[in-house]
Amino acid sequence: MLKIGVLVSGRGSNLQAIIDAIEEKKISAEIAVVISNMPDAFALERAKKHGIKTAVVDSKKITDKAVYEEQVIKVLEERKADLICLAGYMRLLSPAFVKRFSGRIMNIHPALLPAFPGLHVQKKALEYGVKFSGCTVHFVDDGCDTGPIIIQAVVPVLDDDTEKTLSESILEQEHRIYPEAIRLFAENKLKIEGRRVKIV
């Protein structure tokens, strides 16, 4: 069975969507560990409520990135994680970390990549005047939100949308497509060919 390590920094709503999909038997997998760089992340409470092992590697106390990441890697390898899922994890991974788990790290981003990478993307989408936004699940590479795209979902941008309402519409789709991408990975249905991910 696929073992997942989830990296979090905040409230963990995408973590909850993954937990729910596993408990509903939509994904043949288990969450081996939830690791947070923030000791007070609500995502840790969500994990504990479901009996999932948690770990905190405090990025404010460990300021050397290489040392910090080695500790994260140690936990992931101790828990034998096959797939690493970033769920609201607010840190960029180093090339060394990405290489260590090449083709086995996923991220969810609240925009239709390659448009609007990085932070504050709903604000950028509204300022730009796009008619559609959405979310993207992608494999992680050395760049910021630049890895091969697995699944995307489209959300219309309404005339009266605010950053908050657009975020909520997109989040609803995030909770749908992230578990789906994990399911495809668990069933060995994802094949990376250069920049493209084929569902086989």
- Bond before 179 cis per omega within 30 degrees: no
Adjacent-strand bridge partners of 197: 192
Q: List the catalytic residues.
A: 109
Q: How far apart are CA 69 and CA 172, in angstroms?
A: 31
Phi, psi of 150 (to 5 degrees): -95, -60
First to last CA, the chain: 20
What is the length of the chain? Answer: 200
Picking from 154, 155, 88, 157, the residue whose alpha carbon sits closest to that of residue 123 is: 157
Contact 46, 15 (CB under 8 A): yes
DSSP 158: -
